[in-house]
Every structure is written in structure tokens, then in C-alpha cells.
Structure 1
Amino acid sequence: MGVGKSCLLHQFTEKKFMADCPHTIGVEFGTRIIEVNGQKIKLQIWDTAGQERFRAVTRSYYRGAAGALMVYDITRRSTYNHLSGWLTDARSLTNPNTVIFLIGNKGDLDGQREVTFDEAKRFAEENDLLFLETSAKTGDHVEDAFIDAARKIYQNIQDGSLDLGEPTVSQRPIVPTGSDGTGQGGDSKCQC
């Protein structure tokens, strides 16, 4: 069972929930044009596999990313416990000013919550991350997460702290990352 990265991407790009969201093998791509500060921006979103067995492949997609969305499942503590490792990868393989956004997904399952909002918010603050909880199923805060990340990326480009022309930064703005929490592959469908 996945954390819902592909379902988040589908909700953002297609504005609908995909109930039978297959696990990502390697990487999938999504795009959407949005407006930030009066400018049309094309987001190219790379949805990477979250299972540990694909981690070496996933690491190659961090290089050049202007942003990364680290996603965990609020109903599975094991996915939250893997965040430090994913954050280490993101920080070591990207530009120091890459925007990293922590997303707690499956907010529609609040009654099954294993990770509190406050502890995730504290983790985000301690690590200088943006933070939101979302629900790919209902669409709650999905738009906010991607738009807020895009605004911060745009701001970093405008103030010169992120240069897309640098050799370490290519045209890959957002890379959702996450963990299935087991370090192993799960079943073939995510339960977002």
C-alpha cells in the first residue's frame, strides 16, 4: 500500500480521484500550467517510486529538482518514520535552495490517524520544510500544496537563490517522494 503520491498527482493534474492507482515503477510524469504572481508557469512533476527497492533509481531524479514533495500516510506511522532518510537524500542530492514540502496524505482517514498534525508540523519546522495535510481522495488541500510549492520555487528564482541555469538544477520542478513504509513493494494498487 502506498502513501498516495500518484493519487495526489492525479488529483492535482486531472482534478479527480483515481481509486485504483497502481504503484509507480521508476517514474511517471505529470504537467499542469498554473498562474503565479501573474505569470503562467508550467509545472513538470515527476512522480517517483516510493518503495525501497527503487531508491537508487529515485535518487537520480532528485538531481536538478527545484522542489520536492515528501509524502507520508497519516494512518501509517512507518511511512512517517522513513522521512528522515528521504530528507537526507533530498538535501544531499539537490540544490541547497530546493523547496521541500512535507505532505501528510489521507486526511480523509483522520479516525485512523497514527501521526499527529502537531508532530509532523514540528518535524517540518525543525527541518525548514513547508507543511500541509492533504487528501488525494477528497481533494482537500491538494491544490494548496502544489501551488504553495510553486510559489516558493518562483520566489526563490526571482530573488536569485535558485538558478535554473545552474548545472545542478534542470527543468524538473517538483519530485514527489515518499515511502511505502515497509522498505518492500506492496500490493499492486495504492489505497489513497
Structure 2
Amino acid sequence: MNKTSVFKSFVASTLILGSAVVALPVLAEHHAMGEKEKMTIVESAVKADNLSTLVAAIKAAGLVETLSGPGPFTVFAPTNAAFEKLPAGTVEMLLKPENKEQLQAILTYHVVPAKATSSAAIQMVQDDGGAHPAKTVQGDEITLSLEGDSLMIEDANGNKAKVIEADMMQSNGVVHVIDTVLMP
């Protein structure tokens, strides 16, 4: 099975959320100590100061257990600064219990149900002539591409997120930190 087939098979499967300059000192510290293989995506995100808004959203959406499950998952994790770029009041509105389903849809749009490193994703983009569709847990597709040496993720609305920290390996998948919140 070639790499494209493997990725297409991986993206056709299903599951949550949603990479090189933003520092994750706490997360990096745990990785340096060899704890990464023991920690789930959620456990690591909780320890990263720049992912606190994402963690709050995961909790409000009731997705902690899912993202703590066996996976594997590839999570495109928006930073706090990415959430701050949304229109004023958007995050607060999404965190309300009555908007739980909408929040779940947004977060699961940031998750691909497989484990894909940045090098594997870049290879798939190159193999596909510059753009590679990936089905998310939410059910819609995101498009992976390259701008220079940067891995980019484009949502259904044409918004692009840049991977600013790649390949943070966890016990149940991999996290790529992004600079923009993706919207289905």
C-alpha cells in the first residue's frame, strides 16, 4: 500500500479538535523527560499554557474522554492566540451549554482519526500535486498544502492555519499546533 493510499485510508476513518515558532515550554519539558509516551493528547494540552482555551473548549464540549481514548488521532490544536482572532464574544458563546453541539463540531473538525507526522503529511501533499484532502472526525474535509516550508491547513471556508509546532507525539496520537481556528 503506498503512502497516499495509507493516508486516504487513515482520513476515511473517523473522530476531535482542532504547527514553527510558538513555544510550548511545559509540553516540551514533559517531552524532554520522556513522559510523552505516557501522556494522552488531553493530558499534555492541560500542561501547555498556550492551549488553555482549547482545553476549556474540550471540557465544555464533553470531549475529554474521547480525546483521552486510544486513538490514534492527529490533532490540529489552535493556540490561545488563535482563539483570540475570532470575533469578540465567539469563544464565550461557544462555551455555553446550549452551544455544545456546535462546539463539538468545531473541535472535531480539528481532528483526523489517524496518526500523521508532519513529514508524512508533507509527503502526501507532494504526492497529490500540492494539496491533499483529509476527512476529519467531524465528517467534513480539511485540505493540507504547503506554503514554502510551512504545512498549511485550509478549512471549508478558505481560511488557512499554519502549523507552528509540529510532531508532538503523545500516547494516543500526534499534535500539530496551529495559529488559526478552523471552521467547518
> TM-score normalised to the size of structure 2?
0.30
Bigger relative contact order (CA 8 A; separation at least 6): 1
> TM-score normalised to the size of structure 1?
0.29
